[in-house]
Structure 1
């Protein structure tokens, strides 16, 4: 082989060796496959217990008796016997109206009665005498009949006078305004010295019964069979009234279901109902808006979880169950749900279900259960 040819081969070999060495030094290192990080979650244990079921709605407090006190005769208001806000009983004197004119009319009616009674007494004596004289025809039959008619006429006059007295006594009783119900006096609209008329619509004030009291509320018409069963129960279903939300609001009182309306509202598809409450501390007030809760039943041996445990899938509900630090998807059927609890079927009592942190999970995900300082599971606030 010629000398220059060998030189070319040697140069090519050197270039190939340098290139191979450079590629081996600069090629990327093979990535190491590591296990995915555990996802922090909170969990709860599925509880099996007897759970009361409730239905809730918005209601308005109503007085069982609320009366606008109005005058029944014209006259000057002479005296108001009660104070605003005072509790009165049925029959208590509330106010008085000037009664002098009515008393005068009453005395006049009594005088007319006395006059008519005297005339009747004389006519009856004459009638008795005429009856004796007719036995031997000492007077004519016509005279006797006329006297008998006079007695009947005077008797009617006496009855009329007595009716006038009764009417005057009724008018006189109206000058003393008494409470028709037991309740609390409202704000006064008229002061003493004003002239009152029967045609006045505003009235003196109102008297409103506070204890017992009622709450009227509406529920969907689908609840009608349930309400009918509850009101027929003995005793009727208990009803609780809250100020604000039924879960966090203040409990104002507990009563019982007393009435279901006789028709469904066609425009809203709701049925009105009424519950009655004892109200000794006046915590329920007429016109107040409250939230009512009615216990509709008791679910025995129910599986109870918080509402956030159950997830909604495309076809059905499901939950994530923790087993050996991994999660698996469990189909869930929702039996009952409200803002506080969800009753389910599918899992088993004692199962550990994910209650928070589900957004990053899928079947087979590895999880790290986060617990609070007491060792109990709760809501996930920070991820570990």
Structure 2
């Protein structure tokens, strides 16, 4: 029999059907199912697995730009053009602003003229020195006059250097009229619009650039945890992996989780908080993270090899600590104390003591469950669903009552823990089902609550004369 049809779709329908089946069989004394000490409870189960899982420490932090640059004008003048879009990505060297240039172009021209004049005067002075040099020994040129000529050359050389510097300064100021991006990154909004006059002395911010790829991850850890982190940091050649995710980014399926490399340890303990600042570097080519954004940080210190894990729901807590219900081979449960480790990203819990690999534990259905209780383990895979022996015995009794079985069929049911494919259809063909048997069949078929009208369904009367479908 296809159990996905027999017991309804999903674990919810299966749990109702199996529990009702157990209750019905336990209460049908007139149909002679064996008496039970307590009816079986429907649960879901999971197997204890061995996996490689991280040993981690969680903290909070924020994103910091690799470089943050405020753009200001270094010359006075009117902004005549803006060459970027607000919030766009710019590259180093891109033209951002143009300051009105003619006054600075005139200064360059003037500086060039003065430089040329001084160069020409220097050349004439040098020629006079060369002409006069052979006349000094002949006393045709006084030695004092010759020394004055040489001093004049030196003076003119200084003037040339001065005018050269003035030309360079004028050219620099002209270049400052074209403001370019000093770094690559995301540029901000206009703080000063086109047409406004800016002054270098006012240090007015025109806009800013945040270099966001790569980007820094800044976070803190308490001094009590720092020695352990430092130990694993040194073992990992001073490079630990950090998992970074935005705060409030939704469910785990939708959460952005990105790896970063922790390469900088803080050098100071904050006296007011007892914490140490750490820093990691992270790639951010899609600009998913922004400066000053609050983040959750998980420091992966090492990977635990073959750690035992179970679903989080398998761990229960009582006055004596954590425990789990272990399902034994006879479908009864044992309450076992356990020691738990860290919760993992896939919602599994590390078990450091108390369970063994391959054991089955109860995940759902622990409420009112007691040690020694018999359980019906429901599974998403119908082939894994097995009814407990007490329930199977009750089914076999009904089959025997209506002569719908054989010793081979009974053996098959007992060995498989499941009902055969044609069982329900065979039982439905009989017209003498009692109220409880009719409800039993409806629950097996997944029709819902017993007693609802169905087209073409037979009716039967119980002892009170009420009609049942």
TM-score normalised by the shorter chain: which range applies? Answer: 0.7 to 0.9
Q: How does 1:335-354 map to 2 (within 5 A)?
A: 335-338=341-344, 340-344=347-351, 345-354=353-362
TM-superposition CA deviations, 1:99-154 (whole Å, max 9, x none): 22222222222222222222222222222233323323444433332222222122
Contact 2:73 2:200 in 1 (8 A): yes
1:262-304 Cα deviation digits (max 9, x unpaired)? 3233322333333333333332233333333343221112111
Q: Structure 1 residue 160: deviation in Å?
A: 0.9
Q: Does 1:262 align with 2:229?
A: no
- Which residue does 2:456 correspond to in 1? none
User: What pairs up with 1:29-178 in 2 under 5 angstroms?
Assistant: 35=37, 41-178=43-180
C-alpha distance in 2 between matches for 1:165 and 1:213: 41
TM, length-normalised to structure 1? 0.77
Q: TM-score, normalised by structure 2?
A: 0.64
Q: Is the 8 A contact 1:245 1:291 kept in 2?
A: no
CA radius of gyration, larger in: 1
8 A contact 1:231–1:237 mirrored in 2: no
- Structure 1: stretches of 5+ with no match in the other structure: 1-33, 378-384
Question: 1:334 aligned to 308, 333, 340, which one?
Answer: 340
Residue in 2 that maps onto 1:185: 187
**Counterpart mapping for 1:1-20 below 5 A:** none
Aligned to 1:240: 243
Number of residues of Structure 1 aligned to a counterpart in Structure 2: 344
Q: What's the counterpart of residue 29 of structure 1?
A: none
Query: 2 CA distance for matches of 1:352 and 1:270?
Result: 43
Between stretches 185-194 and 136-145, larger displacement belongs to: 136-145
Q: Tell me the SS of whatever aligns to 1:135.
A: coil
Cα distance change, pair 62–68 in 1 and its aligned pair in 2 (3 A) = same
Q: Aligned partners of 1:130 and 1:188: how far apart in 2? A: 65
Alignment of 1:251-330 (within 5 A): 251=256, 253-312=258-317, 317-323=322-328, 324-330=330-336
Structure 2: unaligned runs, 5 residues or longer: 1-35, 386-469
Equivalent residue, structure 2, for 1:209: 211
Partner SS for 2:70: strand
Partner secondary structure for residue 355 of structure 2: coil
Cα RMSD of the aligned pairs, angstroms, is 3.2
**Partner Cα separation in structure 1 for residue 331 and residue 264 of structure 2:** 54
Deviation at 1:250, TM superposition (A): 1.8
Q: Do 2:66 and 2:216's aligned partners in 1 also have CA atoms closer than 8 Å?
A: yes
1:365 Cα offset (Å): 4.5
| Cα distance between partner residues in 1 of 2:250 and 2:268 | 28
What is the Cα deviation at residue 78 of structure 1?
Answer: 0.9
Equivalent position of 1:16 in the other structure = none
